[in-house]
Amino acid sequence: MAFEQTFKNIDNILRTDEGCSSELDYIEQKSWILFLKYLDDLEKTREVEAALQDKDYTPIIAEGYRWNDWAMPRTPSGDYDVHNALVGEDLIEFVNGKLFPYLKRFTSSTNTGIEAKIGVVFGEIRNRISSGYNLRDIVEQVDELKFQTTEQKHELTYLYESSLNKMGNAGRNGGEYYTPRPLIRTIVKIVNPEIGKTVYDGACGSAGFLCEAYNYMHGNVKKTADERLLQTSTFYGKEVKGLAYIIGMMNMILHGVECPNITRTNTLTENLADVQEKDRFDYMLANPPFGGKERAEVQQNFPIKTSETAYLFLQHFIKYLRAGGSAGIVIKNTFLSNTDNASIALRKKLLEDCNLHTVLDLPAGVFQAGVKTVVLFFKKGEPTKKVWFYQLSLDRTLGKTDPLNENDLADFVEKQKTKADSENSWSICVSDLNENYDLSPKNPNKVEAVDERTPQQIADEIRALANDSQRLLDEIIRDLKIER
């Protein structure tokens, strides 16, 4: 791939910089520089389009702050003007003291489209690259990247996703921004979003769900109007953390959404009592954070009071889902069986307000933290009568070197179409649940190996093993004496 070596070069430079110490730092710094290069290419494309229509074009970025002013100045002939390029302390002082403050001035109150995102991005991120010489080397590398053709964007998307994958395996909470893409693609297949309807993730992180939903729906585009819908009024996300916000923005841009509808906000501060029909969405795709704790005043926004963030998000998704809409939500598996009042009440609400038609029980190792999770698939507007479970059982241990892949989930996708029973799948009737609405995945079809040995046989085998161990130990001791 044409740009792969460039990405490697950038990472190698970042690893030598004192201001960057982890994969999260690397993706953060690449993101803001890539964003400005993308913006420059976008401006050039818009300028050409305006010229072809004999129209004037007003640049988004003012003179002095454009890519070719500070990052890659050009001679009159268009060559890189290395003699007038800022470097060392001069470059760091310009970026930190002039460029970032200028970009922070863009606000959603005075701008629309991509312009409205600039101020949010640069208000939430800072330049961590401490060496102006390293920064000079990086912008020269980034300048080689192009965002102008479909092939170029596809390659950049692949390389950026690879960086996100590395971040997902990194320390410093890298995994909280990353959901394995094979799992996301499978969830999207099951939910099956259609063009003309809206997709929402209220805890979007790196926007993996929104990006994969775009890829899936983009494959069904038949006319220009379909693509316009996908670009402007289909995908919506919210994210509270600044780093995740810019990563999600950049990820969607690289996937082909020119101006992502991602809002920088704390989703859980919205009062569910205020939600109206116009606020709702057709599809929910999300992996909300779990294990976090929310303050008492935030809990007042929800009918079921709990400090567990994942349970608050699940209430949010149920409320914001339009009647007839579908959802695929990742949640910790203990949600299915916890006996505290909030868990019981939330399971009851889910089963009464929605048709929880499918539960995918995932093994440990799907997420690098090792937490066991399930995926809840439900449709709003009708109560649940029967739940189909699928327990993903693999003949290997998942991990960094052997992660989940789409082939692992192929049997689930096929059997989910008819919700067939098998060694790994079964159904339960809601009418058979106990008063706690316990949904623990207890597979009645899996044949457990039965040890038919008698106690005497087991004792004899233990004795034989002990004798073998003693014999081996005696031989080792004898060999040691001979060596002496």
241 lies in the same domain as 365:
yes
Question: What percentage of residues in the chain have a pLDDT greater than 90?
Answer: 62
Q: How confident is the model at residue 420 (pLDDT cuts 50, 70, 90)?
A: very high
Return the H-helix or E-strand segment holding 375.
strand 373-380
Give SS3 for 307: coil
123 lies in the same domain as 15:
yes
In this structure, what are the phi and psi dihedrals at residue 268, rounded to the nearest 5 degrees? -75, -5
Give SS3 for 256: coil
- With a cut of 80, say whether residue 205 has pLDDT above it: yes
The residue-averaged pLDDT of 360-378 equals 89
Per-residue pLDDT, 175? 47
Q: Can you say whether residue 291 is alpha, beta or left, with left for phi > 0 and alpha for psi between -120 and 50 degrees?
A: left
Q: Is residue 164 in some structural domain? A: no
- With a cut of 90, say whether residue 184 has pLDDT above it: yes
Per-residue pLDDT, 304? 96
Q: Cα separation of 207 and 181, whole Å?
A: 11
Per-residue pLDDT, 172? 44
Q: Is residue 157 in some structural domain? A: no
The residue-averaged pLDDT of 149-172 equals 69
Q: How confident is the model at residue 211 (pLDDT cuts 50, 70, 90)?
A: very high
Residue in 299, 310, 423 with CA at minimum distance from that of residue 373: 310
143 lies in the same domain as 194:
no
| Of 214 and 294, more confident | 214
Q: Cα separation of 13 and 69, whole Å?
A: 23
The separation between the first and the last C-alpha atoms of the chain, rounded to the nearest angstrom, is 61
- With a cut of 50, say whether residue 174 has pLDDT above it: no
Give SS3 for 288: coil
89 lies in the same domain as 184:
no
The most distant pair of C-alpha atoms in the chain lies apart, rounded to whole Å, by 97
- With a cut of 80, say whether residue 395 has pLDDT above it: yes
Q: What's the token pair of residue 142?
A: 């980034």
- With a cut of 80, say whether residue 134 has pLDDT above it: yes
Give the type of residue at 431: S
Q: What's the token pair of residue 340?
A: 């505290």
Mean pLDDT, the chain, rounded, equals 89
With b for 16 or more beta-carbon neighbours within 10 A and e for fewer, the 352-369 pattern comes to ebbbbbbbbbbbebbbbe
Per-residue pLDDT, 112? 65
Q: Cα separation of 288 and 202, whole Å?
A: 8
- With a cut of 50, say whether residue 98 has pLDDT above it: yes
251 lies in the same domain as 286:
yes
Using CA atoms, how far residue 215 sits from 195, 222, 369, in Å, is: 12, 14, 27
Q: Cα Rg for the chain, rounded, in angstroms?
A: 27
387 lies in the same domain as 456:
no
Q: Is residue 121 in some structural domain? A: yes
Q: Cα separation of 182 and 179, whole Å?
A: 9
In this structure, what are the phi and psi dihedrals at residue 110, rounded to the nearest 5 degrees? -115, -5
315 lies in the same domain as 399:
yes
Q: Which residues pair with 329 in a beta bridge?
A: 286, 376
Residue in 309, 124, 355, 303 with CA at minimum distance from that of residue 202: 309
Q: Cα separation of 6 and 14, whole Å?
A: 12
In this structure, what are the phi and psi dihedrals at residue 326, rounded to the nearest 5 degrees? -125, 155
Q: Is residue 442 in some structural domain? A: no
For the question of whether the overall pTM of this predicted structure is more than 0.75, the answer is: yes
418 lies in the same domain as 481:
no
- With a cut of 60, say whether residue 5 has pLDDT above it: yes
Q: Is residue 168 in some structural domain? A: no
Give me the number of domains the chain comprises. 3
**In the chain, how many H helices and how many E strands?**
17, 9
- With a cut of 60, say whether residue 173 has pLDDT above it: no
Q: Can you say whether residue 34 is alpha, beta or left, with left for phi > 0 and alpha for psi between -120 and 50 degrees?
A: alpha
Highest mean pLDDT among 167-181, 294-308, 441-455: 294-308
Residue showing tokens 């316009």: 228
264 lies in the same domain as 344:
yes
Assign residue 240 the CATH number of its domain.
3.40.50.150
328 lies in the same domain as 471:
no
Strand order in 321-332's β-sheet? 261-264, 235-239, 199-201, 281-286, 321-332, 373-380, 354-361, 386-391, 425-429
Q: Is residue 258 in some structural domain? A: yes
Sign, CA dihedral 131-137-138-143, equals positive
Per-residue pLDDT, 402? 85
Contact 314, 350 (CB under 8 A): yes
User: Angle, to 10 degrees, between the axis of helix 23-52 and the axis of helix 132-142?
Assistant: 50
Using CA atoms, how far residue 479 sits from 125, 473, 475, 483, in Å, is: 66, 10, 6, 6
Q: Is residue 154 in some structural domain? A: no
Enclosing domain of residue 122: 4-147
Per-residue pLDDT, 233? 93
Q: How confident is the model at residue 171 (pLDDT cuts 50, 70, 90)?
A: very low
Q: Which residues pair with 377 in a beta bridge?
A: 328, 358
Give the type of residue at 433: L
297 lies in the same domain as 324:
yes
Per-residue pLDDT, 285? 98
Least confident residue range of 169-173, 210-214, 288-292: 169-173
The residue-averaged pLDDT of 68-94 equals 94
Q: Is residue 439 in some structural domain? A: no
The answer for residues whose C-beta is within 8 angstroms of residue 304's C-beta and 6 or more apart is 311, 315, 342, 345, 346, 349
Q: Cα separation of 323 and 150, whole Å?
A: 36
Q: Cα separation of 100 and 126, whole Å?
A: 8
The residue-averaged pLDDT of 291-309 equals 90
The residue-averaged pLDDT of 143-171 equals 73
Residue in 77, 175, 70, 192 with CA at minimum distance from that of residue 132: 70
- With a cut of 70, say whether residue 109 has pLDDT above it: no
Q: How confident is the model at residue 451 (pLDDT cuts 50, 70, 90)?
A: low
313 lies in the same domain as 366:
yes
